[in-house]
Amino acid sequence: MSLQSSSIRPQEDHINKTAIITGATAGIGRACANRLLGQGWQVCILGRNLSKVYTAEIIEDYNLSLYDCDYTDLKSVARALNEVLAEYTEIDLCIHSSGIIMGQYVETIDKIETQFQVNYLVQFYISQQVRGHLTPSGKICFVGSEEHRKGSLHLGNIFLKEKYEPRTMYQRTKLCQVLYAKKLDTTLDYEQGGVVLVVHPGTVNTGFGGKNLSGLKKWFWELYGTLREGTTAGEAADTLMKVISYDPYNTQLYYKELRPVTATEQIENTKLVDDLYATSLDMCRYAGVDCVDVCK
Ligand SMILES: NC(=O)c1ccc[n+]([C@@H]2O[C@H](COP(=O)([O-])OP(=O)(O)OC[C@H]3O[C@@H](n4cnc5c(N)ncnc54)[C@H](OP(=O)(O)O)[C@@H]3O)[C@@H](O)[C@H]2O)c1
């Protein structure tokens, strides 16, 4: 059986290459998984409701491994990732496409605001563990957003608990992605290899943002989705795949679709970058998971 929107045949140079993807049960992440499976990659997907999306037939026909976990429970993510890394010790690509927009303040089982955990902390945790398994030509790619430019970060009031604003929180999580990508990038050097990328995929019609709304708000969001101009998830995946396949030694951190551009100047604020990094490590520890410190 063939995968939806996967028209690419297996390619010799992708056989024996392993990718980990988050957020691959829907939207952009799922389309990326389809592309990679179609090219013959070994694809490891961490997520929930996996069997609803990936049938036994797909698992049989492609190099697909599924690891059940919920991003709102870091221990479940740690268990799933341990299984992946026990089986696949060398990782060629890690794509982070997990994402959610919450209409109101909701804490995860780890006592962390949900958007912060799903959009950023899970990606941080997985990248920290994957870093040491990355092949010299390996890449870690975050699906980012231009919204990061409007983001601000105050570590004293990180979850906006008292006055929750869904969009402000979303912008904050996308800012955290680029701040962390900047930090991770400092741990990779030319000799050892490895590349970190953040790619804004453009506006993509996936229904993202409306999934946790109800009633009139949901209706308006869906109507807006039909009116706004955007690409399909498959087109966004093609953009990501092109950026990922650029020169392995490229030094550009942030891409707006296919164009390398500078990210927010906040990434030059070393104290902010370092403080977020230290806070993220602490959050993982408070959640009861051992997190590698790649900067040690
Ligand atoms: N769509 C756009 O226009 C756009 C633009 C710029 C950037 N982005 C970024 O692109 C990324 C993907 O967005 P998308 O549009 O593809 O959204 P999407 O279709 O809603 O996909 C989000 C993915 O995250 C997963 N997820 C959310 N909460 C989870 C949880 N608790 N446990 C496990 N998995 C969970 C979803 O799984 P379920 O299916 O189980 O919920 C789904 O696989 C996000 O980071 C977003 O910020 C999107």
Minimum CA distance residue for ligand 1 atom 11? 97
What was the pLDDT predicted at 13?
64
Atom of ligand 1 at shortest range from CA of 98:
24
Helix 270-286 vs helix 122-130: angle between axes, to the nearest 10 degrees?
A: 90
What was the pLDDT predicted at 222?
75
The answer to whether residues 255 and 243 touch, using CB atoms and an 8 Å cutoff, is: yes
Atom in ligand 1 nearest the alpha carbon of residue 142 = 45
* Alpha-carbon distances of 75 from 44, 101, 190, 246, rounded to whole Å: 18, 22, 33, 35
Give domain limits for the chain: 12-286
Q: What is the pLDDT of residue 12?
A: 56
C-alpha span between 56 and 59 (Å, rounded): 5
Ordered strands of the 259-260 beta sheet: 64-68, 42-47, 18-22, 91-96, 134-143, 195-200, 254-256, 259-260
pLDDT mean for each 10 residues of the chain (296 residues)? 43 79 98 96 97 94 97 98 98 98 96 98 98 94 98 96 95 98 91 89 90 76 75 97 81 93 97 98 98 94
Alpha helices, DSSP H only, in the chain? 27-38, 50-53, 56-61, 74-87, 114-115, 122-130, 166-185, 215-227, 233-244, 270-286
Q: What's the CA-to-centroid distance between 70 and ligand 1, angstroms?
A: 13
Which pLDDT value is given to residue 263? 98
Q: What is this structure's pTM?
A: 0.94
Are 202 and 236 within 8 A, CB to CB?
A: yes
Nearest CA to ligand 1 atom 12: 97
- Ligand 1, residues at Cβ distance < 6 Å: 23-29, 47-49, 70-72, 97-100, 118-119, 143, 145, 200-201, 203-204, 206, 208, 211
Query: Which DSSP letter does residue 56 get?
Result: H
Separation of 189 CA from ligand 1 center, angstroms? 30
Other beta carbons within 10 angstroms of residue 82's beta carbon come to: 14
CA of 96 to the centre of ligand 1 (A): 9
d(CA 127, CA 134): 10
Query: pLDDT at position 31, please?
Result: 98
- Domain 12-286: homologous superfamily in CATH: NAD(P)-binding Rossmann-like Domain (3.40.50.720)
Closest protein CA for atom 45 of ligand 1: 99
Count Cβ atoms within 10 A of the Cβ of residue 177 and give its class: 0-12 exposed, 13-18 middle, 19 or more buried: buried
| Cα 134 to Cα 152: distance, rounded to the nearest angstrom | 31
Residue with CA closest to ligand 1 atom 29: 71
